[in-house]
Structure 1
Amino acid sequence: MHTALIEEFERYLDARYSSHHTKRAYMKDVEEFLSHSFGFDIEGVERFESVLFKKGLSSKSINRKLASLSVFFEFLKQKGIVEKNPVKLVDKPKQKKSLPKFLEVDELVGLLESVKDKRDRALLELLYSTGLRVSELVSLNVEDVDFDNLRLKVRRKGGRVMYVPFGRRAGEYLLEYLKGRKTGPLFLNRYNNRISDRMVRKIIKRYALGSIFKDISPHTLRHTRATHLLNSGMDLRLLQRFLGHSSIRATQIYTHLNLKELSDVYDKTHPIVNDE
């Protein structure tokens, strides 16, 4: 019934999208909508949304299909078949925001203590101590490290330059790794070139799977650091500055985490906490 319209829509997509995967996904979603013979109006879109809910699709999947449908209705507007895009007028399912994963203190200790390689230990210690993004870590040079004042010169998103503190413990491992080296990239690969963020991800994943049996990323250490600082009483505004968030909203997610209280005894005896 809609064969000619579908073919024309496919040509519309060909003229605007280069990704075959994207075009195929749009076509599949639109064909699914058309197969139900719903009207090209708000009621039709809502009925389609109801069908998707009954199928048990996640909010994320439903929103993706509605996004495809929105492109289709923009095409119909251009042809004069509809006056408005009804997808923009319907209520869409709210997606649950996934809270960031973090490591408990004992897991963090287990991970760090499993690392015997000097470079890798210095890398993980510094990543946790500073809460840096992996892109920020790999772009560091030796000259960016101020050992006297225990701080790093970090290039943040948008070209901002900030000084970020690090703990004595991380500094000691870093000095041991550098062995007097004064210039060049801070962390090197085996070819003495700047280490890549991809390699850092592999390093962390390997040690985590081998020690605490978890598949984590560099960002997990960033979330871990933020969580531990917040648990220790750091003000949210200070945490925002520490993490380099441009908006407090990005930092507020940590206040919604279901955290276990760190015991006073553990705080007093834990070597990493004492060094910070």
Structure 2
Amino acid sequence: MDILDKFLNFLQNNYQSKYTINAYYIDVCQFIDYKKTYVINENDINAYVLFLNKNKKSPSTIKRKLSALSVFYDFLKKSGIYNFDLKGLVRPKSPKPLPKFLDIDETLSFLENVSSLRDKAIISLLYSSALRVSELVNLNIEDINFSNNTILITRKGNKQMSVPVSPKTLNILKKYLGNRQKGSVFLNKFGKRLSQRSIENIVKKHAKKTLLKDISPHTLRHSRATHLLNNGMDLRILQRFLGHSSILATQIYTHLSLQDLIKAYDTFHPLNKKD
């Protein structure tokens, strides 16, 4: 009796629903056919999720397939055949309303109509590098590398990462910083580091004035991700750019069509194309 036959026997002895038994068995068979082996690691799972996504499988289908694999690898572990814990991996969440995002024309209009140099730098950087508010607030001048167009930010879990910034945004930053060479990038009128609430209020104020919309800083992050994906960025690259630990978290942006991979960062940047 091979492993798949043993797994089917396990399902029949432990599950009552014929639908579940059949679905889990087929899901595992399809995965083994895809991978040609049951020996895997977390990267293999991420690659499989990407494969399923490109084949237009729904989040609920992907979630079920991962559940089936979780049961399968738990069975292998308890049977002493192979030890891999899939239970700790992130599952796709149930479908939610898509995040708000601005189209490119709205983004250009938003940026062009902010008169305050500081506020323009804040909004440009939030969009250009798809930053979370906390990443922007904690940014120091020493973290900006003007020579290679990158900034060093601290992601969730205190992980540091260099991310690209558009040349146009860096020019705005240079003008805003003037002769300052160290310390917090964004300051309030008292010379202190801006708070997250202040950043949120700045974005909302200008958005209501220019776009007549109520948006948050995270809307700019969503917009950036949407524009990149719609212009051809590969989902794996977008995952790293956004700092998502799992590609499953990046899937929400796949409501737009994917085109061929374009490697150069500047090629993806919609604002650079308008220069």
The TM-score by the shorter chain falls in which range?
0.5 to 0.7
Q: Which residue does the alignment assign to 1:166? A: 165
User: What's the TM-score once normalised by structure 1's chain length?
Assistant: 0.60
- The DSSP-based 3-state class of the residue aligned with 1:240 is helix
Q: Which runs of 5+ in 1 are unaligned?
A: 1-93, 260-266
Q: Which residue does the alignment assign to 1:116? A: 115
CA contact 1:152–1:164 (8 Å) conserved in 2: yes
Please tell me the residue identity of whatever aligns with 1:128. Y
Q: Which residue does the alignment assign to 2:189? A: 190
- The DSSP-based 3-state class of the residue aligned with 1:152 is strand
Instruction: Tell me how far apart the structure 2 counterparts of residues 271 and 153 of structure 1 sit (CA, whole Å).
Output: 22
- The DSSP-based 3-state class of the residue aligned with 2:152 is strand
Q: Which runs of 5+ in 2 are unaligned?
A: 1-92, 259-265
Post-superposition Cα deviations, 1:19-59, rounded to whole Å, max 9, x if no partner, equal xxxxxxxxxxxxxxxxxxxxxxxxxxxxxxxxxxxxxxxxx
CA contact 1:136–1:155 (8 Å) conserved in 2: yes
Instruction: Tell me how far apart the structure 2 counterparts of residues 193 and 135 of structure 1 sit (CA, whole Å).
Output: 16
CA contact 1:168–1:275 (8 Å) conserved in 2: no
CA contact 2:230–2:257 (8 Å) conserved in 1: no
CA contact 1:239–1:251 (8 Å) conserved in 2: yes
How far did residue 272 of structure 1 move?
1.4
Indicate the percent of aligned positions where both proteins have the same amino acid. Answer: 55
Instruction: Tell me how far apart the structure 2 counterparts of residues 199 and 257 of structure 1 sit (CA, whole Å).
Output: 32
How far did residue 167 of structure 1 move?
0.4
CA contact 2:166–2:272 (8 Å) conserved in 1: no
- The DSSP-based 3-state class of the residue aligned with 1:153 is strand
Instruction: Tell me how far apart the structure 1 counterparts of residues 131 and 143 of structure 2 sit (CA, whole Å).
Output: 14
Q: Which residue does the alignment assign to 1:53? A: none
**Alignment partner of 1:241 is 2:240:** yes
Please tell me the residue identity of whatever aligns with 1:181. R
Please tell me the residue identity of whatever aligns with 1:218. P
Please tell me the residue identity of whatever aligns with 2:245. S
Query: Which 4+ residue blocks in structure 1 deviate beyond 3 angstroms?
Result: none
How large is the Cα RMSD of the aligned pairs?
A: 2.3
Instruction: Tell me how far apart the structure 1 counterparts of residues 249 and 97 of structure 2 sit (CA, whole Å).
Output: 13
Matches within 5 A, 1:114-263: 114-257=113-256
Please tell me the residue identity of whatever aligns with 1:151. T
Instruction: Tell me how far apart the structure 2 counterparts of residues 175 and 247 of structure 1 sit (CA, whole Å).
Output: 34
User: What's the TM-score once normalised by structure 2's chain length?
Assistant: 0.60
How far did residue 96 of structure 1 move?
4.6
How far did residue 273 of structure 1 move?
2.9
How far did residue 114 of structure 1 move?
1.3
- The DSSP-based 3-state class of the residue aligned with 1:163 is strand
Instruction: Tell me how far apart the structure 2 counterparts of residues 141 and 273 of structure 1 sit (CA, whole Å).
Output: 25
Please tell me the residue identity of whatever aligns with 2:157. G
Return closer, same or farther for 1:140/1:169 CA change in 2, 3 Å cut-off.
same
Greater radius of gyration (CA): 1
How far did residue 258 of structure 1 move?
8.3
Please tell me the residue identity of whatever aligns with 1:124. I
Total equivalences in the alignment: 175
Matches within 5 A, 1:11-90: none
Please tell me the residue identity of whatever aligns with 1:210. K
